[in-house]
Chain A
Amino acid sequence: GENVEQHPSTLSVQEGDSAVIKCTYSDSASNYFPWYKQELGKRPQLIIDIRSNVGEKKDQRIAVTLNKTAKHFSLHITETQPEDSAVYFCAARPTGRRALTFGSGTRLQVQP
């Protein structure tokens, strides 16, 4: 089955800096890669996703890049703000399967 590895497990940045979180996946058939943000005590919220026919996608300060050859994808947050502090999860889903396989999460702390 699919295996997703996520790094780093914790990340501390100064407000205004950029943050990058990286994930690798094992199943070459995976074609959908969402990113979720989970604040303490709250539900995971989808922040951005990318399909395998796209190499990069941006939404304001957030961007995701996908390298299918290397089987990795990354989340980039620019101009970080304290409200970006949360746990971020990457996930992958192979074609023909519905279940998302999640990475272990990255705790991002943005220092004001």
Chain B
Amino acid sequence: KAGVTQTPRYLIKTRGQQVTLSCSPISGHRSVSWYQQTPGQGLQFLFEYFSETQRNKGNFPGRFSGRQFSNSRSEMNVSTLELGDSALYLCASSFGFGPTDTQYFGPGTRLTVL
């Protein structure tokens, strides 16, 4: 079974631009979570989707948004990019919405904001 995939793998943007990242979960998985990883802040939760509905949201500004499609694929969007948005953005998928469901990570999208 193919793992979680993310596109693109690398992105370079300038301040003020917007960006859209994509995540395809493992086949059959219906839950997708997004995390931001930086050297200073570690892994921080952005949001989670299940059955096309956002179920949970972390403490990030409204510039960060996401959605999930009927095939469980998910996208996240960051508008008005800031230098501090440079990070590795990871998505993780799980089969369901249970409290102990295992999350499997994708390879990430490395975003650099100049």
Q: Taking beta carbons and an 8 Å cutoff, which residues of A are in contact with B?
A: 31-32, 34, 36, 42-46, 49, 51, 89, 91, 93-105
- Number of cross-chain contacts by CB at 8 Å: 59
Judge whether B75 is part of the interface by a CB distance below 8 angstroms. Answer: no
Q: Is the CB of A105 within 8 A of B58?
A: no
Q: Is the CB of B45 within 8 A of A46?
A: no
A43 to B100, CA, bound (A): 20
Provide the residues of chain B in CB contact with A95, threshold 8 Å.
Answer: 99
Q: Taking beta carbons and an 8 Å cutoff, which residues of B are in contact with A?
A: 4, 31, 33, 35, 42-45, 48, 50, 55-56, 58, 90, 97, 99-100, 102-108
* A44-B105, A89-B43, A104-B42 given; A98·B31 CB < 8 A: yes
* A99-B48, A100-B45 given; A43·B99 CB < 8 A: no
